[in-house]
Amino acid sequence: MKKINLILFLLLLFTACGTKNNEPVEEISKEEAIVKVEEKNENEKIKEEKLSSDGVRITEYEDGYTSMLSPVGEMVIVRKPEAYDYTSFPDYVLSELPAGTGTEFNQDLRSKDVTNIDLSYKLDYLLEADFDDNTKWPDSLPKEFDIEKIMEYGKDPGFGVRELHKQGINGEGVGIAIIDGSLLVDHVEYKDRLKLYEEIHMHPQTNTSEMHGPAVASIAVGKNIGVAPMADLYYIAVTHGVYNEGSFDFDLYWFGKVIDRVIEINKTLPEDRKIRVISISFGLGGSGLKNEDLAMEAVERAKEEGIYTITVSQSMGGLGRNPLGDPNDINSYTKGYFWRDSPAPGFIDRTMAPMDSRCLASPTGEDKYVFYYSGGMSWAVPYTAGLYALCCQVNPEITSEEFERLALETADDVQLTGEGIKRKIVNPKALIEEVKKIKE
């Protein structure tokens, strides 16, 4: 009966309704409507739809995953994932330093107890390590390893962005949507900016916050860390695929579904507080993953609504930085960790932004922070989104194409250590001045 009702709804929708410009919509046949319903069922395979006691819309899928959306006509936080406890792992207390893996979590000391290790002569190791507020340190630390300074420098978005904040250029009135993993919604960095938290196709055992969500949210809108600390944050968590016998099968259909949800939310917002940008720390476009075409179609629909979708494929490139180097001094920056041993030719035509050596919101507690030596492109995406939000505040008519062009034109030409070419390093203050000019 549910399928028949949905078919009738689609027939009515496509034959009786007009567009927002009152132009007739192209009619479709009953057979075409049935095909559309079956395509949706093939992707989603809905098991049950229900309402919680407070009106949250819950959809359970046959694959065991669940979606939770706000009650109709409302925007709420549908769930509060718990803080993540790294100390529950059996290797919490270390007797020796973990060997560098050459991966994103290269030398991981997050929430570790290293009080039994002599670190007096381990400065080089420590300057490339990840750690957090829960890391327990020995007395035998190198005097040059200034933890407080490293974390304070890591919180600074750099390149004079905080000077723009002092001028009132802080993203106020601009909406940023982030699509990522589960979020510690009450973290002090962004809880006052969070307007909505929903989940689409999430694994039922995802009870805690993932590390990625708090990090990207704080880079975009964090009150101490963020590029646009007064922007409104609309956050939707998603699992973009399914775990299947120990492996993860990507299905980008779910990114498309979340982007469409962002478009739906945006249509309810007042004109002076619209969502202008979506931050997705994932590579869309050219990946060849399942249903990527559907995700890219959603990106185009968002663009038609004035929403710029930034992914790893479209973001600014990412820079490294010595943890003890001033983030506002362009000479502190280096090649990014993940590409420091390669030329990274894909970045030649990109504006470059801070990426590594960031101190961000931690999933371990509402007032906890974590330092990541290597950020990967995941951190460059919300940084770029935050800069676009600043530009939208200054000039609400700016387009994504103008932003990309001006960011490149106003960038500083810098030759990074060990390179024979110059990179285009973003200059936020110069960018904002040019954005002001095109408004005039």
Residue 65's pLDDT is what? 93
Residues 289 and 38: their CA atoms lie apart, in Å, by 21
- On whether the CB atoms of residues 219 and 357 are closer than 8 A, the answer is no
Q: Find, among 291, 286, 203, 309, the residue nearest to 253 by Cα.
A: 291
Residue 285's pLDDT is what? 78
Given a cut of 80, is residue 6 above it in pLDDT? no
The domain spans of the chain are 1-44, 155-439
Fold type of domain 155-439: Rossmann fold (3.40.50)
| pLDDT mean over 289-313 | 94
Question: Which residue bears the tokens 């009135």?
Answer: 173
pLDDT digits (tens, 9 = 90+) for 78-96: 999 999 998 887 778 898 8
pTM of the predicted model over 0.85: yes
Given a cut of 90, is residue 341 above it in pLDDT? no
| pLDDT mean over 373-377 | 90
Residues 257 and 424: their CA atoms lie apart, in Å, by 35
Q: How confident is the model at residue 345 (pLDDT cuts 50, 70, 90)?
A: low
Tokens for 97, please give them: 């330093």
Given a cut of 60, is residue 109 above it in pLDDT? yes
- Exposed, middle or buried, 166 (CB in 10 Å: 0-12/13-18/19+)? exposed
Residue 440's pLDDT is what? 65
Q: Find, among 397, 240, 220, 380, the residue nearest to 314 by Cα.
A: 380
Given a cut of 60, is residue 401 above it in pLDDT? yes
Residues 308 and 312: their CA atoms lie apart, in Å, by 13
Q: How confident is the model at residue 40 (pLDDT cuts 50, 70, 90)?
A: low
Given a cut of 80, is residue 306 above it in pLDDT? yes
- On whether the CB atoms of residues 355 and 377 are closer than 8 A, the answer is yes
Given a cut of 90, is residue 299 above it in pLDDT? yes
pLDDT digits (tens, 9 = 90+) for 111-167: 999 999 999 999 999 999 999 999 999 999 999 999 999 999 999 999 999 999 999
Residue 332's pLDDT is what? 95
User: In Å, what is the CA distance from 53 to each residue of 69, 71, 226?
Assistant: 13, 10, 35
